[in-house]
Structure 1
């Protein structure tokens, strides 16, 4: 393999393995040696599935793994597990690496040269510097390893309670319900609150924002709050967590907020979002944007570096509606980035044009979706806009199972260009956001949207789909604003 080039991939999940696998399909091992460095125990897994694993919808961690290291190796990739990259030498085109894990030998460092370097380091969960945050019982859920640690802790807690006063910790003998506190009410926070409720915990969600889901406008977030409280989830907004308290044995017992309120906790889950994991890249002098993600061109090549590529949760992407880059941590983009990188390293050509900011989630039977801009984002960009909200149903009103759905739509003041859509409703609500995502990508106006030829039958929608009802109302609002 003396004449072969070497592709080194740092990170063995969505972007990294998609890039490596696609490059391998395009170039044989005697043309391109591919080495993947992964510091954890899993490759190619779904982080988004962790809350559903904790809730019991997914039976095993292995069910979330799309392809194991062994399967990747059989496809001609050299996958080095529990191996961490510790430094980049851009000038000499090499990576310093060592075994990872508490039991690893710190003297086992080595340098590995590359012709093509792929940074797929992902994102790290936000872990605030608070007293007690490192106590036992405080968990993140960004990786399968973290999800497994949380699940084992929950199972141990439940088993100890089942054993009675001798087996459980103080407080369980009284027969009180197990308490869980989730800090943060974003996507992970609301999904984990559902998972813990379903495991029998009394759940309190603490969040600094005015309403849960700050990826929605507050008037839509309040619908999420009402639904969560209807499911028995205590939701405390405007809550500034100041400390976590632990028992004598070091296990978390309470979460304290700025007003002095202490919330009892047998387990705490951090759902404060993530930041790009770019420490390695920063130390090497690679360019990062305002939100801390690596900056790339449309081919996912790091700006100013012909032989370095990056994708997934460690990069910033172009927001096609806002016209600027931002950090969006989603597996859909990560996989697409990997395909683009693999194509370009493999001798083909591909680009990733950008995103419109589409996301969908759920808490119990409530579906939550958004795409494009929120009102505050449009205002920050200096975009004059109108906003309308409609309430409709997921099916024809007379058809069994028809459920309420709220749709909020933003349009530019004079042009009527669609700027954003938010949807909160029951079954059948969430995926309707895809229609709006396509309209945003195509640059449609709300008036053009009213003529979209969408599928109709009573089991699926009213005659006027809720998204089109919102578009009609937005069209009227734009006309009135122009006349005004």
Structure 2
């Protein structure tokens, strides 16, 4: 194939058809027409531009049709002048030759496609430990819509109603709720002392207690050693050193890792967490025409000043917009994150932003911590719900370092107040003067986050009290 440009349009090749990849393609197309920029996108699955975050709610029945999770189909992208090739997997990146080798997963045929701009948006893969029985039928990781459909198929034909979730991070607790909603008896096996390792253990304990109250069996400090299959090769139990838990289906909620095997094989730079390293424009470091975004990259933590791997659709869409803007001839940058996340299990809302205690210690910060109990509305207003807020502030300076919230309705999204304060570099004392909206149906006079800031401000001034 002739790869010389001549008078032809330049070509943008995208590896990965979800949030980052297709946001990049769509934004580039807004800025440049097909006569200026040809766009080819490879996606190994059946779907493009979908909400992976919505999979637990599809599995749990709150979302009834998979199409509700798809923002834009491959056909819709093609109508906009983007050549989307589904069920096609890129298996090699030739950086010196500026081309990629792709395999049609139906026919097995392979071909090379040259690029002028390459966008790597390969996402993340569920952690799948190398354990005896891990490949038994009925054991599922959940990362793509195809994964979600495979799990639903298993749930439909499972011989019993016992489910085991391995891991108790965001994916684990959300899938536990989904399985409860499906009428399964759910056991969560967790290697940590408490669920939700993204929280400090004292806040994770609140999640543990709430999950137990919902009928979910929590098994902490337990290392899975094997999975046992029946004579037909279907999973039958999850084994730890001390016990065996019957299972008709197993969901792996251990977390995800950046899917960077292609990038690594091509010699592109990876960080300590295995994600691609980029500059502020989302260009892969050391490369002029290779870009990367989404769950396969590491991002700058603005609070800790270090690179982190955070797999969230919000970041992926922003990365894609920035890449597409730059490829399209304009200019944009991504400054970093403060590590905000929110989740729920049944009616319990869980949120965090910034640093945990161990994160602060790891980067050498001295800090104070405070915890307050409050309510979502004025205490006298009907349906006021309890919440617990934990706040970290830097010793002496009072700079806000992190916030964790666990509570019922109205708790989770309050973390956004802290996320804005972190991004602005505010002190807890300055936070106490924020002019937040107040009325009894929405908040106590002192919003719970500001009540925590008020207590933290006092602790900063008198850290021994």
TM-score calculated relative to the size of structure 1: 0.94
Distance 2:370 2:102 in 1: 54
- Once the two structures are TM-superposed, the CA of residue 447 in structure 1 deviates from its matched residue by 0.2
Aligned to 1:150: 151
Which structure 1 segments of 5+ residues have no match?
A: 158-168, 173-177
The superposition leaves residues 128-183 of structure 1 with CA deviations (integer Å, 9 ceiling, x where unpaired) of: 000001101111111100100101111223xxxxxxxxxxx4xx5xxxxx110000
Q: Deviation digits for residues 16-42 of structure 1, max 9, x if unmatched?
A: 000000000000101000000001000
Structure-2 residue corresponding to 1:82: 87
CA distance in 2, matches of 1:279, 1:136: 25
Q: Is 1:105 matched with 2:107?
A: yes
Establish whether residue 476 from structure 1 lines up as the match of residue 458 from structure 2.
Answer: yes
Aligned-partner Cα distance in 2 for 1:89–1:143: 27
- Structure 2 gaps of 5+ residues are 1-5
State the match for 1:193 in structure 2. 176
Shift of 1:3: 2.1
Q: In structure 1, how many angstroms separate the alpha carbons of the residues matched to 2:317 and 2:289?
A: 20
Q: Residue 140 of structure 2 aligns with which residue?
A: 139
Give the counterpart of 1:5 among 10, 13, 27. Answer: 10
Residue 166 of structure 1 corresponds to none
Of the three residues 399, 414, 433, the one matched with 2:396 is 414
User: Structure 2: how far apart are the matches of 1:198 and 1:91?
Assistant: 51
Shift of 1:2: 4.4
Could you tell me which of 53, 70, 73 is aligned with 1:68? 73
The reply on whether 1:447 has 2:452 as its aligned counterpart is no
Equivalent-residue separation in structure 2 for 1:284 and 1:221 (angstroms) = 40
Q: Count how many residue pairs are aligned between Structure 1 and Structure 2.
A: 460
Q: Which residue of 2 aligns with 1:456?
A: 438
2:385 to 403, 413, 425: 403
| Residue 203 of structure 1: aligned partner | 186
1:96 alignment partner, one of 101, 115, 130: 101
The CA deviation at 1:330 is 0.1
Deviation at 1:105, TM superposition (A): 3.1
Distance, in Å, in 2 between the alignment partners of 1:149 and 1:92 is: 38
Q: Deviations over 1:269-325 (max 9, x none)?
A: 000100000000000100000000000000000000000000000000000000011
Name the structure 1 match of 2:128. 127
Task: Indicate the larger mover: 329-338 or 53-62.
Answer: 53-62
Separation in 2 of the partners of 1:112 and 1:306?
A: 18
Worse overlay, 425-434 or 193-202: 193-202
Deviations 1:179-225 (A, max 9, x none): 10000000010000011111111100001001000000000000000
**Is residue 283 of structure 1 aligned with residue 265 of structure 2?**
yes
Separation (CA, whole Å) in 1 of partners of 2:143 and 2:338:
24
Partners of 1:398 and 1:332 in 2: CA distance: 36
SS of alignment partner, residue 37 of structure 1? strand
Counterpart of 1:160 in structure 2 is none
Give runs of ≥4 in structure 1 deviating > 6 Å. none
Note the alpha carbon deviations across 1:354-376, whole angstroms, 9 max, x for none.
00000000000000000000001
Alignment of structure 1 residues 4-403 onto 2, 5 Å? 4-100=9-105, 104-106=106-108, 108-157=109-158, 169=159, 178-259=161-242, 261-403=243-385
Query: Secondary structure of 1:133's partner?
Result: coil
Aligned-pair Cα RMSD in Å: 1.0
Q: Deviations over 1:234-256 (max 9, x none)?
A: 00100100000011011111100
Q: Distance in 2 between matches of 1:235 and 1:130?
A: 21
Given the two structures, how large is their TM-score scaled by the length of structure 2? Answer: 0.98
